[in-house]
Structure 1
Amino acid sequence: MPMDRFGPLAFQLVLLRRMADFQAPRVDEALRELGVSLADMREANKRWQAMVRSPKGRGALARYRSVLGPPESSVRRRIGDLDSEIHTWPVPLWPDLRFEVVAGAGGAVWNEWLVRAPDASAPVLRTVEDLEPWSCTVEEVARAFPPARPLEGSAPTRWRLAFTAPDADGQPHAVVAEFTWGLLQRLPSQQPA
């Protein structure tokens, strides 16, 4: 992979690098689909971390714009008492998803994750068995199984949700789902409720 310019392909490798901790076989398949190697993914992540940590670096929103180009969409939205701007970019590896950045005044980034594209169908989530890795986002799981309770993630770009969901036989289970960049990775905990 040519690493002269850090662009959308390299950014997808950054997303995959964090997901590899939970879904190594899926990440390997995605790397093959993208025509890149594990070494390319590591190099992309190394360059991304250098950009993030650079004392002369751009702010997070400017960094996303420089890497991903102009957003596919930008809308202003009021969240509680705060005005925000929500920017989305396509992610070719996941055509039904968009990378969303929620920024406040002055471009301070509040949240950055994968969300369902507005014109894409969301998965039907009714049971624990419907929760397949890489099939749904944090928002979709929270809507499907209210009241979902957010928990601290194990690292930056990771989220966890605790909720109750029935299994295929209708028996309720207390579930903890783990997400990376907003995309479901695994269910490390599920016990009869």
Structure 2
Amino acid sequence: MGLFNLFKPARTVLVVDVVSLNEVSGQKGKIPPRNQLQMLRRLARFAQREKLEVIAVLTGTPLNKAPAGKKFEEITVLYSKSPEEHAKFLARTAQSKGAGAVLVSGNAAAEKIAGNGVRKLRVSTFRKAFDTGGDDGGNGGNERSEGGNNRSRGNRPPRRRQPKQKNKDSDSKRNEPKGERKQKPSSETDAINELIDLVD
């Protein structure tokens, strides 16, 4: 994508705070395992597309399909023990990766603990590159777009409704096309009947 070419001198390792990423995506509180796995899959596709090493950091009990310290598709998944320990764990993880580490988080405490030795990227900025991946968000359509649930409408303007006219002349004009429409089905029926006669 180009955004991460800024970090290319050393081997870039993104340490992604999945808790913050979920929050900027509109998911707060206790997130179901299915949604967490969908986010990890999106991160894996992103890592593959950008050719980056990604470490995803979640909190709480490890997921069965994404065990702690193991690879999940293209990314490594780590877990902090609790939300209270999350900031320290994020900072330590980023610091352990050396000069190539980039901490992607919205957690101010984690950024402060990591210090000046770790490059930082706000999760809101990261999300702009992350969301341009061309996938549906990996959430089965549960995430709502800013305009509500008009995702399939794209940039189409709203439909204009015809104003009701109470003029008798307009009523008679409106009725004329209806009469023409009624004739078409009968002519189509005649054509079908002729075909049926030919078969007989």
**TM-score, normalised by the number of residues in structure 2:** 0.23
Which structure dedicates a bigger proportion of its chain to strand? 1
The structure, 1 or 2, with the larger RCO (C-alpha pairs under 8 Å, 6+ apart) is 2
**TM-score, normalised by the number of residues in structure 1:** 0.23
Q: Which of these two proteins has the greater Rg computed from alpha carbons?
A: 2
